[in-house]
Structure 1
Amino acid sequence: MTATWAARFDGAPRLIDVGGRTVCARIRGSGPTVVLEAAGTGQGTGDAWGRAVEDGLPAMATVVSYDRAGVGCSQGPPRRTITEMADDLHDLLGALALPGPAVVVSWSYGGLVSALHAVRHPGDVAGLVLVDPT
C-alpha cells in the first residue's frame, strides 16, 4: 500500500464516493490486493470474517473490506440485484485505485456477488476463493 493510502486509511473504515453513492471501506496491510466479500446483507467492515482472518491477512496482503450500499456505514438505498452489487464492487476498486487484479474471497451470499463481478469485470479479478458459497 502506498504511503498515501496508509495515511488516509490507517486501518480505520472510511467513506468513499462510488458513482454518487458513499461506500464504507477499510483497507489494511500491504502487498497484493485481496477483497473480502461479506456474506448476507454485506456488512463487511464489522469484523464479519473474524479476528484470525482480518488481523492475520494484512501481514501479507492489502486487504479491502467494505459495506455494500445501504448497509452498515455505507449510504444510499441497498442495491436490489446481484448485478448492481457486482458493479458497485468494480466501481469501489476503481475509486480506490489499488494495484490489481485482486483476489476476491467471498463467503456465502458474497459468492454470488464475487462470481458475477468476475464475469462482468474479469480485469479486476486474479482469482476467486469461495467459502461456503450460496
Structure 2
Amino acid sequence: MATIPVDGAELVFDERGTGEPLVLVHGTGAQASSWGRSVDDLAAGGYRVVAYDRRGYGRSAHPPVRDYRVHIADLAAVIEHVGAPAHVFGWSSGGNTALALAAQRPELFRSLTVLEPPWHGLRGATPDMLAALGKAKFAQARGRRRDAVAQFFRWASGLRDGANGFDRLTDAAREELYGNAATVLAELDPHPFGLMMEHVPTARLADRPFPVTWLLGGESRDWYGRLHARVESAVPGIRTERIAGVGHLAHDEDPAAFAAAVLRGVAAR
C-alpha cells in the first residue's frame, strides 16, 4: 500500500508485478480490493498493476465527489506518479473517467481498455433506467441507503435472463459496495460534470495515438451495447470484444476470463 498526494486528498494504491504500468480504475461503489484475484492475474501477464481507491472510496478518505472532473484529474496524477505513458483499464464509471482523460491528455496513454462504460448514458436513458434511479433516490430520501444502493446495482448489473449480478455476489462483495453507499448516492445526483461524461464530446476520442479496446459482457443488458455502438460509429478503429457468460460485474463473475480479456486489450496494437 502506498499513497499519491492530490489536491485535497491522498489516493491509496496497491501494486503487483513488474513491467509497463497498468492502472486499474474502478467503477461506482467499488474500490481497489474489488478487483480480487484479477490484480495478480494481470500482473502475471507481465505488467506492473496499479489499483487505486478513487477519491471518496475505500482508503482514499474524502467527502463524496459529484464533479467527475476531480476524478479525471486524480487519474492523471496517478498515471504521472507511476510513469506515463501507461496502459489504463477502466470499468463502468471508471471507464468513463479513463475515456474522458484520454480525450484531454492522450499523451498519458499507452493503451486504453474499458468494460461497459456508461458513456453519455443520460442521452441513452431508458424508462427502466430512469425508474431504477428514481426508486434509488426515493429510498435514499426515506433514509434507506442500503436499499437505495441495491436498487441501483440491481439495474446496472441486470442480465439478459432477467436476473442481476448484484444478487449473485458474495455477501462480502455486496457489503463492500454498501460500505461506499454515501459516495454512490452522491454520484447519482444530477450534475453538469457528472459520471456520464455528457460534457465531453465523443469526437475528441477519434484522433488518438493509442489503441482502444471496448469490452462488453455477453450476458449484460442491451443498454451497454447501444452506448458502445454510438461511440463506435464516431470513433474509428475501436477493438470490441464480448466476454461470454458474464455481465457488468465480469471481474466477480468470471475472474479468469475477465483478466484474459483485459490482457488481450492491453496487448492490442
1 or 2, which has the higher helix percentage?
2
Amino acid at match of 2:100: L
The total of aligned residue pairs comes to 117
2:18 is paired with a residue whose SS is coil
Name the structure 2 match of 1:40: 28
5+ residue gaps, structure 1, are 1-12
* CA RMSD of superposed structures (Å): 1.6
- TM-score, normalising length: structure 2: 0.41
1:65 is paired with a residue whose SS is strand
* Kept in 2: contact 1:23–1:67 (CA 8 A): yes
* Kept in 2: contact 1:103–1:128 (CA 8 A): yes
1:101 aligns with 2:93: no
1:70 aligns with 2:56: yes
The one of 17, 36, 54 equivalent to 2:39 is 54
1 or 2, which has the higher strand percentage?
1
Name the structure 2 match of 1:110: 94
1:35 and 1:19 map into 2 onto residues whose CA distance is: 20
1:90 aligns with 2:76: yes
1:42 and 1:56 map into 2 onto residues whose CA distance is: 19
Q: Which has the larger radius of gyration?
A: 2
The one of 105, 108, 112 equivalent to 1:121 is 105
Identical pairs, percent = 33
- TM-score, normalising length: structure 1: 0.78
5+ residue gaps, structure 2, are 119-269
1:35 and 1:123 map into 2 onto residues whose CA distance is: 15
Amino acid at match of 1:58: A
* Kept in 1: contact 2:21–2:48 (CA 8 A): yes
